[in-house]
Structure 1
């Protein structure tokens, strides 16, 4: 039987790949045989990761890019196509969060979150989809969040809520329009996972205690527990699945 999850030779682009979930996904895809282009603002970290990926027997390309700046994105995609000639899978993972209620957060901070989390997906997709249409094939995976469909009583994350809610519906809109070109668009909604973004806030003992009390599994996610959903959406196993967001959250959004 054909291995539906085999990604050998596929070209996967991952944004926000200098830390956290992006690093983990890059390694997961390399282990499945995919060649990986990694994108982030912190190029020195990307260089280190690229060498790790190549030790797994795949090709890798590190590209410095701020996904909220169109010229950066345009040049980054051009560099990737120059090396790999095509893009099979785009993982829009770059994201930032900001604590604050709507009556506290500054306009500048609001724009920073929306520009990275939402505008970044728009810009990356804008330039990658053109190549996918030419090839009549593509897999786009957007990193959403449980915060896109629920609020947080103890830690206000209003800009983040707004951005991730929009990501979920943008995923549906893109999916319905791009299906005829052989392109699927799906989302992954993580619950609480440790990252640079969460370690100093949501992983504080008092906040973690509340999360664990509410989450049916009683714990945050572990490294690697997002890999399966991402590989599924990127592979032939999900060929008839589009417009969906899977919440990998220990049951958090089921209560």
Structure 2
């Protein structure tokens, strides 16, 4: 029963991956998880060269050469084309594309007075209206439009990975098809707005994009799945939900009214998830969005 051993179920040895937003947060953790477990090459794309190099520096000594930084901006077709060309010059295929870049938007929520009462409608209108439209739209440029064009940019290398697969054998599990994983958020499901309207709406669009692309790319046998995280410590979340230096991963770090299991997600949570999705254990996933949030989404929904 060796095929049921964890070393086979979560095997990513030899895998070639591309990760956008690999210079920090969840993207960094996913890159390090793949490198630590034997992926052949992980190309990490981001705007900040220093952050990308820091990700490389955090990898185990034996895996540092497998993480390759590529500067790029997902909101620019020219930049994405350049990143693709650089990667295509170093590999003839990509097994896994993780579309992970994302930003928060301007803080736009339904505010209340200090005593909990509603703002007068004129004050609410002024507060929401005075946020520049360009700031609102920028969130969609990164989180949604950027995600779409990143997926499209790498289709040829994903297709090439499928063409390298061995012919199927009767009663033997075929290796996973090429896969795109998009990082969304539980905010894409929630009608409450704990951060801002633009972020929630952009992530709702990403959730739909996962479903639409997984259907549209069926004939090309390129799978598309999603991850919808709750609270994980990152550059985006420090200052809003986390104190500097506190990852919040121990029991009791959060009230159960905020996160039912009372802690945030840790590196092990997201690393284990991506290894599951990337290995043979995740080969049957397509059009699926996995929520990893300690029960926070159910609290947000029920308290609305």
* TM-score above 0.5, yes or no: yes
2:148 corresponds to: 122
Note if contact 1:41-1:65 (Cα within 8 Å) is conserved in structure 2.
yes
Name the counterpart of 2:225. Answer: 186
Structure that is richer in helix per residue: 1
CA distance, structure 2, for counterparts of residue 62 and residue 52 of structure 1: 13
Whether the aligned pair in 2 keeps the contact of 1:144 and 1:190 (CA below 8 Å) is yes
Report if the CA contact (8 A) 1:141-1:234 is conserved: no
Distance 1:225 1:54 in 2: 19
Indicate how the Cα distance of structure 1 residues 103 and 232 shifts in structure 2: closer, same or farther if over 3 A, else same.
Answer: farther
Q: How many residues align?
A: 252
Secondary structure of 1:214's aligned partner: coil
Partner of 1:249: 293
Q: Which of 8, 13, 23 pairs up with 2:13?
A: 8
Runs of at least 5 residues in structure 1 that lack an aligned partner in the other structure: none
Q: CA RMSD in A?
A: 2.1
More off after superposition, 77-86 vs 163-172: 77-86
Counterpart position of 2:173: none
* Alignment partner, residue 118 of structure 2: none
Confirm or deny: 8 A CA contact 2:31 2:67 kept in the other structure.
no
**Pairing partner for 1:170 from 195, 209, 226:** 209
Equivalence for 2:45: 39
TM-score, length-scaled by structure 1? 0.91
When Rg is computed on C-alpha atoms for both structures, the one with the higher figure is: 2
SS at match of 2:224: strand
CA distance, structure 1, for counterparts of residue 270 and residue 14 of structure 2: 22
| TM-score between both structures, scaled by the size of structure 2 | 0.77
* 2:59 aligns with one of 32, 45, 53: 53
- 2:158–2:222: 8 Å Cα contact kept in structure 1? yes
**Superposed counterparts of 1:140-179, under 5 Å:** 140-152=180-192, 155-179=194-218
